Amino acid sequence: MRTTEQLTRIFGQEAATRVSTARLLVVGAGGIGCELLKDLSMSGFQHIEAVDLDTIDLSNLNRQFLFQRRHIKRPKSEVAIQAIRDFNPGIDAHARQANIKEPTFDVDWFSQFDLVLNALDNLEARRHVNTVCLAAHVPLIESGTAGYLGQVTVIKGGETECFECHPKPVERKTFPICTIRSTPSAPIHCIVWAKNYLFAQLFGERQDDEDMTAEEDAENMEELKQLREESTALAKLAEAMGSPEFARVVFEKVFSSDIARLLSMADMWKHRQPPTQLDYDELESAALDSDFDPMSPGTHSAMSLTDAFALFKYTAARLAQRLDSDEQGTRGSISFDKDDEDALNFVAATASLRSYVFGIDQTSIFETKAMAGNIIPAIATTNAVVAGMMVTQAIMVVSEQMSRCHTAYVSYNSKRSRSVLSEPLALPNPVCAVCRRRYLTLRVADLSRTTLGDVVDYLHMLAETENNLYLGEDISVVEGSRILYDLDFEDNMEKSMEELGLWRGRMITVAREDLDDVESVAGTVPVVLSIAGPRVEDASQPLDLDIEGFELIPEFAPLPPPTPDEAVPNGDQLHFADDDVAVVVDDSDGDEGLATLHHVKVDNISDELAKRKLSDIGVRGESSIKRRAVATDDEATISE
């Protein structure tokens, strides 16, 4: 094959062989994903699996070139994989339409791949993949674009910084609680209410503060108090989840009872249009005579009141069923994802109903998706450049040439001779709360029989073996934001893993409570246990409880903090006039997203002058000076 000959000539025979046998996972088959899958299939990679939850929409066709009009509504991953099979008939390629955060995709599943490539468009999923790759000890290539800006970097546990090594400053517009709760006046107010209040309280983890702010005065403190009371009332509605009356009790609470309470405050409506109560029975009767199909709602037209009601009723039942049928029968939570059709349609329907209540202009599902997902338009050319750089990095990673890998940036500037810059991979942040962890696999034969106390006892027993984790006697165990055990809370010790909702695919973090008299650097490093079943070869006689992966734990030697004015350490030094500035573009949760970018030297410039110059190019905020993608003013030049 000519491709193999070319790879051999450029990278060597061993690299060409490794490329042809490597197993790759591509997460995301959208803007970057289409370009990436095409490039991989034509570059000698023979074993590829793609995962994407989304289906093809008309708006995708202007840049996701593997898709055509006849593919609309079909799964992106399936169509993209079929397309690359047409390019390369001999390729071993498979597609999955699924959410990568599902428990099915656990550490064991990720471990079957030699490399994972992210082509995601939201921070939450990217954080998840970053964590699972660290736990599975699989290298990850992270990418992102935002307009004409892009970035590619390689993440390998213990060797490079991870996606979470530095904060992701995302500019988020916030709204006063009183506006969201009582006096919405724009479609975005209704969408924030539907997404961050109603959806989160019913189906997800509580997000009372996100996108909502309050001044610390008496009036808003009263608003906060009432909001908490309403949140508690909504939480009680969860008892009806799964019953035929679930949609009715939710509807009557938020569109009837709550509106009646607002109408009782006559002074509030002296200079505003008062809201209108909605009647469940009237809308249900009208919906019976409608030909609207909630299973296939139109995405580009605003819904009528009756259609919005029908979609609300359908999606409320769907989401309740998903939670009710959660694994092991334990109620979990659903995070909002703009690519989750049920979640998006529920938010769109309830936002539309609220808009009718308050006399606000309607938005289509497509417009709701854009506002709820903070989507930034993507540029096809940038996606193509970034995908090409990802393939180059992938070849070097699978051929074990990590020393040749680098972080690359795409930054368009008509005054510069080059639009692609690079720098060596950065070392891990010594205080990173994600990659400065010891990732191990906790194998449990029977989740219904093994208790949390068994796990704690097993960890204490390890202290007397060569696999000592240096956690000491006083430890805490948490799962996400939930405390499972510490010295002052032992209520869960006799509960089974199943009862606690700790099934396969979940992760628990074990940390030392008392850091005095630490004998080793490892003693300050928490342990993350990825819950998994017994190995197939041990299935006949599995151990009740086992922890593995000790040989894969990196050494956590102290790392020197980065010097604030350290220059970019590669051959392409950036030179600035005294009043020039280099910044990093905001990490955006946009259409293709933008990953972590690095500090660039700024000479002889005050903070105030920097802020003024940043404002001139449309970037604002304190974080603009610290962590943004490479961008300079017109006088900056690059010398080679």
User: Which residues does the annotation mark as catalytic?
Assistant: 178
| Tokens 């199943």 -> residue | 498
Residues 233, 353: Cα–Cα separation, whole Å:
20
Closest CA to 418 of 585, 570, 640: 640
Distance CA 631, CA 638 (A): 12
d(CA 47, CA 45): 6
Cross-strand partners of 451: 496
Tell me, what amino acid is at 528?
V
Q: Residue 390 belongs to what H/E stretch?
A: helix 380-398
CB neighbour list of residue 270: distance below 8 Å, 6 or more residues apart: none
Dihedrals phi, psi of 424, to nearest 5 degrees: -60, 155
What are the φ/ψ torsions at residue 402 (nearest 5 degrees)? Answer: -60, -30
List Cβ neighbours of 414 (8 Å cut-off, separation of 6 or more).
Answer: none
How many degrees, rounded to 5, is the angle at CA 265 between CA 264 and CA 271?
125
What is the Cα–Cα distance from 325 to 329, expressed in whole angstroms? 6
HSE toward the beta carbon, residue 88, CA cutoff 13 A: 23
- Give the DSSP H/E element, type plus range, for residue 155: strand 149-155
Q: At residue 387, what is the residue type?
A: A
First to last CA, the chain: 36
Strand ranges (DSSP E) for 465-561? 475-479, 482-485, 507-512, 527-532, 545-548
Residues of 596-630 as b/e, b for ≥16 C-beta within 10 angstroms? bbbbbebeebeeeebbebbeeeebeeebbbebbbb
533 and 445 Cβ atoms separated by less than 8 Å:
yes
Tokens of 575: 């030179």
The residues that bridge with 118 in the sheet, in sequence order, are 27
The tokens for 153 are: 């970097």
Residue 379: C-alpha distances to residues 9, 609, 631 (Å): 33, 31, 18
Angle, helices 365-372/341-358, rounded to nearest 10 degrees: 100
The DSSP secondary structure of 574-617, one letter per residue, reads EE--TT---B------SSS-----------S--HHHHHHHHHHT
